[in-house]
Amino acid sequence: MGATWAAVGRAAGYLVVTLGAALVSLVMLPLTAVAALTAPIGRLGLLPLWVRTVDGWARWHRTRAALLLGAPVPEAPAPETRPRRLLRAPSTLRLGRWLPVAPLLGLPFGLLGLTAVLMPPASLQFPFWWALPGETTFLWLTVNDPVTAACATAGQLVGGLVLLRWALVPAARVHARLTLARLTPSRAELLAARVDELSRTRADVVDSHGAELRRIERDLHDGTQARLVAIAMQLGVAKEALAGHPEAVAIIERAHEGTEEAMTELRELIRGIHPPVLADRGLVGALDSLAGRTSVPVRLDTADPGRLPAAVETAAYFVVTEAVTNAVRHGSPTAVDVSLSREGDVLRLRVADDGPGGVDEERGTGVRGIRHRVAALDGTVRVSSPAGGPTVVRVELPCGS
């Protein structure tokens, strides 16, 4: 019996608070309209802040409902904060569908709870009504004598206890289930949030990896390469000093040649990690340098893309380098056209040559390498290479911050 009335107490508290929450939600509806009207103002005006506020309000409702039912609080992704995605985000749509319904659900259930709680103590007033001057009417009953007052008191007391004992707990649980049904994210929303989180995590990993590669490049350039240069110079001095000892000179010459070869290999390795020209001159300057050292004329149509994430800049450079190298090595073109442009948060690259075409991705690794590098940044690659040419490689890389 004690457990039963404890459950009744929890349900009564839940429904009374629900009535107050419904009134707050009712006030929030016109405020939502005001926030929506500010959307045309820069970066959606007050709407992002208001969506976060409504999301916090919804999380409180979801937690209350789950605790009443003894269920785990449903997982929910954080509200979208990027203005361009805010209006279409599943979390925003879910909150927009719930907020107008919250007062419609909360007011009747809350009034039921408040009525059930107030009826027993309110019944104690009837014994005093019959003594009042004039006639006092409760519903259809005129309370003008002690017997009628006693009947009214007993009727309201019994009705209130019946509501408390048998109606409040089911009503509270129904409201809690309806609230969770409205506020629990769908599997599609959770999956979309997970994919978005993985995309951001992968972008962070790519950026960290790029930063580490640049650190390794600097260490090799400033440390190992400088030491090899010093060794080569010392070997040259030693060869001059031992000019009268042919055997020693031959050994030193071999060591000097080996050092030069190691330096050449190291320079190639450094260029493969992070080309120094990219760090020194930026993407457009690096492409100019690429065009200058290519044996086939390379016509550039490049507009300054502005500030780009380091990973995107590096990927774009290597994509163009690989595409131009493939064209020169396998296509024997008379010219290669390279264009670069930025449209919003998308960097577009196009490499076209007038070679014989017929690129077969299964027989080489060039295009596959481009696809793998672009896929790491959620970009897209389209290759058109009909027999007889031309071969056109189009790449789009997301470059939003």
Token couple for 191:
């999956």
pLDDT tens figures, 27-60: 999 999 888 888 777 677 788 889 999 999 999 9
Task: Specify the pLDDT at position 177.
Answer: 96
List Cβ neighbours of 162 (8 Å cut-off, separation of 6 or more): none
Instruction: Find where tokens 């309209």 sit.
Output: 33
Task: Specify the pLDDT at position 104.
Answer: 95
Report which DSSP code applies to 354.
Answer: -
| pTM summary value | 0.63
The residue among 271 and 299 whose pLDDT is bigger is 299
C-alpha–C-alpha distance, residues 196 and 299, integer Å: 38
Mean pLDDT of all residues in the chain? 83
The 3-state secondary structure of 291-307 reads: HHHCCCCEEEEECCCCC
Give the count of beta carbons closer than 10 Å to the beta carbon of residue 248. Answer: 14
* CATH superfamily membership of 281-398: Histidine kinase-like ATPase, C-terminal domain (3.30.565.10)
The mean pLDDT of 303-324, rounded to a whole number, is 85
Give the count of beta carbons closer than 10 Å to the beta carbon of residue 58. Answer: 22
Residue 401 has pLDDT above 60, yes or no: no
Residue type, 367: V
CA angle 203, 204, 206 (to 5 degrees): 65
CB 176 within 8 A of CB 14: yes
pLDDT tens figures, 119-168: 888 777 766 665 665 566 655 666 666 766 677 778 788 888 888 889 99
CB 302 within 8 A of CB 340: yes
For 249, 254, 259, the CA distances from 244, given in Å and listed in that order, are 8, 17, 23
Task: Specify the pLDDT at position 42.
Answer: 65
C-alpha–C-alpha distance, residues 141 and 236, integer Å: 120
CB 397 within 8 A of CB 354: no
Q: Strand 136-138 to strand 336-343: parallel, antiparallel, or no bridges (unpaired)? A: unpaired
C-alpha–C-alpha distance, residues 47 and 32, integer Å: 8
- Judged by average pLDDT, the poorest of 57-66, 209-218, 280-289, 356-365 is 209-218
Residue 76 has pLDDT above 90, yes or no: no
List Cβ neighbours of 262 (8 Å cut-off, separation of 6 or more): 228
The mean pLDDT of 229-242, rounded to a whole number, is 80
- Judged by average pLDDT, the poorest of 54-63, 108-117, 202-211, 229-238 is 202-211
Q: Is the Cα dihedral 190, 193, 197, 198 positive or negative?
A: positive
Task: Specify the pLDDT at position 61.
Answer: 96
Residue 111 has pLDDT above 90, yes or no: yes
Cα 286 versus chain centre, distance? 32
Give the count of beta carbons closer than 10 Å to the beta carbon of residue 75. Answer: 9
Q: Percent of the chain at pLDDT above 70?
A: 86
pLDDT tens figures, 350-369: 999 988 888 777 766 578 88
